[in-house]
Chain A
Amino acid sequence: MIIEKILLFFQEASFTIFSFLNLPDLPASISDLLSDFLDLVFVNISALGFFVRIQTLVILVPLAVIIINIDKIYDLVMWVLKKIPLIGIE
């Protein structure tokens, strides 16, 4: 509930502050070109499944992201816990 409120506050605030922004989109020709480029590069991405077990990647990659950022996660958790007087963490 607390985190929800905080995040929603920042979201609403940023939407309000930057609401005047209305920048034009990238020209369709360029975005199509980028899409074609991705098609060219990733059309055969399914072949990856032959060389690596995808289930392994699905498990390991999120774990790796968590481990790499474990200190940030720890800081965030401690920051939240320190806000609770009941626990008494200094």
Chain B
Amino acid sequence: MKCCKKKFLHFVFVFLLAICMTNLKSTCKAYTIDDVKFFIDYLYSQNVTNANYSSFHNRLGSLRNDWERMLQKAREQNIDLSQYTCWRAASTGRSTSCHLFGFKTSPEYHCTGYWYETTNTNSTYPGILWTTDLNSWDTGNYRFSDDFCALNENEPTNGNYYNAIMQNKVEFPPNFKFTFFDERITATAPNGATAYCVFLNDLTDIQGIGYIENYEEHPDTQITIFMQNYRDPNDVKVQALQPTDYELINGELWVKTITMWTPMVYEIVGIDGDDNFIAYYYIAAGSNTSGDPNFYGTPPGYDDNQFFLWKLLGNFGDDSGDKGGGLFGGLYDLFIPDKDFFLTYFNNFHTWASSHLGLLYTPFEFLFNLLDRIINADYTDPMVEIGPYTLPLFDDFTIVPKITYHFNDLLQDENMSNIHDIYLLIVDGILIIGFLRMCYNKYEEIIGGKK
């Protein structure tokens, strides 16, 4: 009986831990700037293979750091990001990369990008904002990649970019929507139709399925998917997306306009699993009254400012894994649930338990809250904040003022930084040795019969 009780408690513990981990992973961290919430969880999630290309950030979450630096730069240049109508991000994902963040706006048809050269420590890092005129979009000449990406033969110099932004202050309409989903991108047309597109990517193929949620009410809505990808390290653009029914534009950009409810499947050809592979995905939805598949304008009666909502999902690596084919693939499909299954499963359980179990579920919520704080803490800027402590009964007399200490200030000294690196190395060694010791004990317990 005691043994069963112990096993049961053990099972409950593992079950709850699984709930915690799944639930916490789904937490989308809101990043508020000027009262606009940015959901950038995807940018630094484990599924983003972006940790090794930046020489400035040797930790996971490089994209987030870059994003924050971009915001900082935008503030310095008095650009109100809350007024942007759309946002685009791209990472080349290579070791000697540039890095792009872009903004597509309307009706000015200006874009603003963020670019820096990570290989040149003497560059104007952390970034150069630049603008360019995108009126040419209306002509049907796809200059999308040329204008947005710095990886082409017309790449301006750092100074040119910098001068451009200094001379062209960008003002955008006050409508900004920006949402990242784990593996779903969304576009909302001004007529209310919402388009979704889901991509599955495992470095050997990409499948995209797009649909509009409320198509019956908005039969004039079209969804446009742009796909483009590059393969490095030689800065050579490689056509890799091979839609089943495609139209080739300018020899480098695949454009596919689909009728709603028609699933589309894209397959990559010519990709050899190179880590440097990257694909860009763009989705836009709008009411296309002209029937032009290259439609970018705003339909009559709709507000320009609300027309475009661009989303990007890129470079999410080999997250889906290679499950292979044949018998193994069949068994995999038979027994291994989809990766989103457990997320949905435990989220449903969490929701149900919160609403039905009341205070009985409070300890678990307390535990989730605790783990949420631990996992979502910003460890990149370790700091201690104390106070302020006041006495409410004595006119809020402050007995301990607010004290903030940033540990990273210590590391500005080179010697201290070296000592800290060595210290972390030793701690890592201790942890790894302890882990190996634990593995050995477990091995002894299983194989050697040790209790």
Contacts and interface: CB of A to CB of B under 8 A. Distances in A.
* B is bound to A: yes
B345 A54 contact: no
Given A22-B358, A49-B379, A55-B60, A42 B432 contact: no
A7 interface: yes
A40 to B, nearest CB: 11
A18 B446 contact: no
Contacts of B391: none
Nearest to A4: B337
Nearest to B331: A84
Counting chain A CB atoms within 10 Å of each CB, the highest count among B14, B345, B382 belongs to: B382
Contacts of A68: 438, 442
A89 interface: no
A70 interface: yes
B21 to A, nearest CB: 8
Contacts of A26: 358-359, 362
Contacts of B341: 4
Contact of A67 (B331, B362, B439): B439
Interface residues of B, number: 52
B4 interface: no
Interface string B328-365: 00010111111001000100110010001111101000
B211 to A, nearest CB: 23
Contacts of A18: 356
B385 A67 contact: no
B384 A2 contact: no
A84 to B, nearest CB: 8
Nearest to B348: A11
A55 B51 CA distance: 11
Contacts of A51: 427
A45 B331 CA distance: 43
Given A22-B356, A47-B384, A55 B366 contact: no
Nearest to B360: A23
Contacts of B14: 65, 69, 72
Given A70-B446, A72-B14, A63 B334 contact: no
Contacts of B345: 7-8, 11
A70 B374 contact: no
B427 A44 contact: no
A38 to B, nearest CB: 6
A8 to B, nearest CB: 8
B358 A24 contact: yes
B29 interface: no
A46 B424 contact: no
A60 to B, nearest CB: 5
A45 B333 CA distance: 41
Given A11-B345, A25-B362, A53-B428, 8 more contacts: A22-B356, A23-B358, A31-B362, A38-B373, A44-B384, A70-B446, A71-B446, A72-B14
27 contacts: A1-B335, A2-B334, A2-B335, A7-B345, A23-B359, A25-B359, A25-B362, A26-B358, A34-B369, A38-B370, A42-B370, A42-B377, A44-B385, A45-B374, A45-B377, A46-B378, A46-B381, A48-B382, A56-B427, A60-B431, A64-B435, A64-B438, A65-B14, A67-B435, A67-B439, A67-B442, A84-B331
Interface of B: 10-11, 14, 17, 21, 59-60, 331, 333-338, 341, 345, 348-349, 352, 356-360, 362, 366, 369-370, 373-374, 377-385, 407-408, 420, 424, 427-428, 431-432, 435, 438-439, 442, 446
Interface of A: 1-4, 7-8, 11, 15, 18-19, 21-26, 31, 34-35, 38, 42-58, 60, 62-65, 67-72, 80, 84
